[in-house]
Amino acid sequence: MPSALIHYFTGTGNSYHAATVVERRLKDAGYSVEWQQVSRGTKPPAGSFDLHLFTFPVYACDIPDIMARYMWKLPQGNNAKAAVIAINGSLHPTTRVPAAQGDPGWSFDHAGLILRLKGYDIVLADAAPYTANIRIVLPIPGEAGQARIQELGDRRVAGLAEKLVRGERSVRHNLLLAFLYVPFGLGYGLVGRHFFAKLYVADGKCNGCGTCVKTCPAGVIKLTAGRPGWDWRCQGCMRCINICPRRAINTSIPRVVLLLGILLVPPEWFIAAFSQAGIVFPSGTGGTILSWAAALLAFIALLYTADKAVFLLERIPLVRSVMAINFNWWYRQYIDHSFRKLLARGKH
């Protein structure tokens, strides 16, 4: 009996759902199928499989950082077959407006590249759109729209699964636009994602139930005196903001303003503050590099301190109410139904 291993990372369940569509077809074709959910610190399982399937959401036209790291940790593939299905976000079921279907960018090329370097034989690489989950900034489509988007996504994934079981190679490339996609993805993976959860605030409706803490796949949320706090290692997967049973997590406008304010401080101001404090850097190129490095450290220290200070001040109910001012309280939440059931069984 041929064997397959499904490796998946998901924020709101679409990548898991898409993988179940492939699983059904593989089982019909006589495969035995095992699963590996990727979360913080997951080590790739040992053992050999005839086929590996990788599914993950698309972030900024690229593969999520957590999935890329996991792939780099895989044992050598020894030419085992691997398939990549990137799951991107559709804002509306219409296929007439291309932007409504999102853009998978070079996510599947990037994943394919890592896997090839690890010695896997890529037999399929493609993408399929499911409901866009970016509740931090964009409204989620209604139930009917979600159902139609899922139907279209399932059809696309079922077509890809069919190719897989027939042994038909189908490797799609989007490398022509890579010069556009790579900086976008790198910017998000190296910098942007760290700031996502820093924009979240749990308002007064939060009852400290801990669901967000338990389910965060990156393990970055901690309850302090019954209030969730987010550290800097967020993947931006949107699970916490979409799963909170009290809809208490939203995008804090004051936090956005504070963050933008700090990001816009010119580095020269930090260097001027150093000289006012009597710290003088040597002249020449070495001195300039040193002063800019010191400015960067001061900037990071300011970010960190401001974040801690705001979190402490949010203990005061009035401050918390002000920090909880947001624009997205009325946006629907979105978690794929089959994934919600899996989470309810404690599988996260």
Ligand X SMILES: Cc1cc2nc3c(=O)[nH]c(=O)nc-3n(C[C@H](O)[C@H](O)[C@H](O)COP(=O)(O)O)c2cc1C
Please give the residue ranges that form the binding site for ligand X (CB under 6 A).
10-15, 57-61, 87-89, 102-105, 130, 132-134, 236-238
Assess 216 for contact with ligand SF4 (CB under 6 A): yes
Angstrom distance (rounded) from CA 145 to CA 138: 15
In one-letter notation, the amino acid at residue 341 is K
Applying CB under 6 A, which of residues 84, 111, 149, 218 lies at the interface with ligand SF4? 218
Closer to ligand X at the Cβ: 83 or 238? 238
Binders of ligand SF4 among residues 169 to 208 (CB under 6 A) are 197, 202, 206-208
Q: Does 235 bind ligand SF4 (CB under 6 A)?
A: yes
- For residue 282, the minimal CB distance to ligand X (Å) is 42
Please give the Cα distance from 174 to 103 (Å, whole number).
10
Q: How far is the CB of 65 from ligand X (least distance, A)?
A: 11
- Cβ proximity to ligand SF4: between 25 and 193 the closer is 193
Q: Which of ligand X, ligand SF4, none interacts with 13 (beta carbon under 5 to 8 A by kind)?
A: ligand X
Q: In angstroms, what CA-CA distances link 250 with 85, 157, 177, 322?
A: 30, 32, 34, 13
Nearest approach in angstroms of CB 279 to ligand X is: 38
Q: Which does 197 bind (CB under 5 to 8 A by kind): ligand X, ligand SF4, none?
A: ligand SF4
- Considering only residues 91, 122, 161, 240, which one is a binding residue for ligand SF4 as defined by CB under 6 A? 240
CB of 56 to ligand X, least distance (A): 7
* Residue nearer to ligand X on the CB measure, 5 or 58: 58
185: three-class secondary structure by DSSP: helix
- Helices 65-72 + 107-117 axis angle, to 10: 20
With respect to ligand SF4, which residue has the nearer C-beta, 16 or 120? 16
The answer to whether residue 209 forms part of the interface with ligand SF4 (CB under 6 A) is: yes
Would you count residue 229 as binding ligand SF4 (CB under 6 A)?
no
Alpha carbon distance, N-terminus to C-terminus of the chain: 29
Cross-strand bridge partners of residue 37: 8
Phi-psi category of residue 37: left, alpha or beta, with phi > 0 → left and psi -120 to 50 → alpha: beta
With CB under 6 A as the contact rule, which of the stretches 79-87, 127-135, 238-246, 311-319 interacts with ligand SF4?
238-246
Among ligand SF4, ligand X, none, the one that 132 touches (CB under a kind-dependent 5 to 8 A) is: ligand X
| Phi, psi for 88 (deg, rounded to 5) | -105, -170
Cα distances (angstroms) measured from residue 7 to each of 39, 99, 164: 11, 28, 16
Token readout for 199 is: 């924009």
**Residue nearest ligand X (C-beta atom):** 102
Helix locations, the chain, DSSP H: 14-28, 65-72, 107-117, 143-166, 178-187, 193-196, 211-215, 239-243, 253-263, 267-276, 285-313, 317-323, 337-344
> Which of 128, 134, 149, 212 is the binder for ligand SF4 (CB under 6 A)?
212
Distance CA 287, CA 239 (A): 45
CB of residue 127 to ligand X, shortest distance in Å: 8
> What does the binding site for ligand SF4 look like in residue numbers (CB under 6 A)?
11, 197, 202, 206-212, 216-218, 220-221, 228, 230, 234-240, 244, 246, 248-249
